[in-house]
Amino acid sequence: MTASITPEGGPATIRRAVARDAKRLTRLVRGSRAYHGQYAAMVADYRVGPDYIEAHQVFVAVATDAHGSHVLGFYSLVLDPPELDLLFVADGAQGRGLGRLLVAHMKTEARAAGLDHVRVVSHPPAEGFYRSVGAVRTGTAAANPPAVVWDRPELEFRLPPDVTGTDGKVRRGLATRSPVHVGPGGTA
């Protein structure tokens, strides 16, 4: 699936990450304003390596202009056990719907892989975002020192299967069990 959005500066597309993206993804993680201050230790030595990209479902949102290709964000979906391991949007690209687009893309990929749920252990300040795009709180993940010295919200995306209506059209995630809540202004 290729998805697109038009943030300021031009259109962006989501594609499967490749090994040569590793350094850019690592810079995005380490440079995120969300992980400054008390959260800095968690990402100080974090590395998204080519081996990680190959082992998991990693997708990157990129925009291309006259100066080349720019990484705007990415996510990593671990299939077994199902977990959204990473989701980052570049500081300058936040607030334009890119995070929602990445989550919608992740849900589509998860359904295609046969998953009915995806776990998220959230960075504490990101819990509101995840809830706004349909995740439900399921508990708390305990601190894991030395890098993670705070408890984190644990959430889950519940992914009902696609259903074909009587008109032959596919309805995304519209099973009669566990409906997905979509936040204001968003689409799943």
pLDDT tens track for 93-144: 999 999 999 999 999 999 999 999 999 999 999 999 999 999 999 999 999 8
Tell me the pLDDT band of 173, cut-offs 50, 70 and 90. Answer: low
Residue with tokens 């202009």: 65
The helix (H) or strand (E) run that includes residue 51 is helix 50-55
Tell me the pLDDT band of 57, cut-offs 50, 70 and 90. Answer: very high
**Are the beta carbons of 165 and 171 closer than 8 angstroms?**
yes
- DSSP designation for 124: G
Beta strand 57-65 with 12-16: parallel, antiparallel or unpaired?
A: antiparallel
Cβ neighbors of 64 (< 8 A, separation 6 or more) are: 10, 70
pTM, two decimals, is 0.80
Q: What is the pLDDT of residues 15-27, one digit of tens each?
A: 999 999 999 999 9
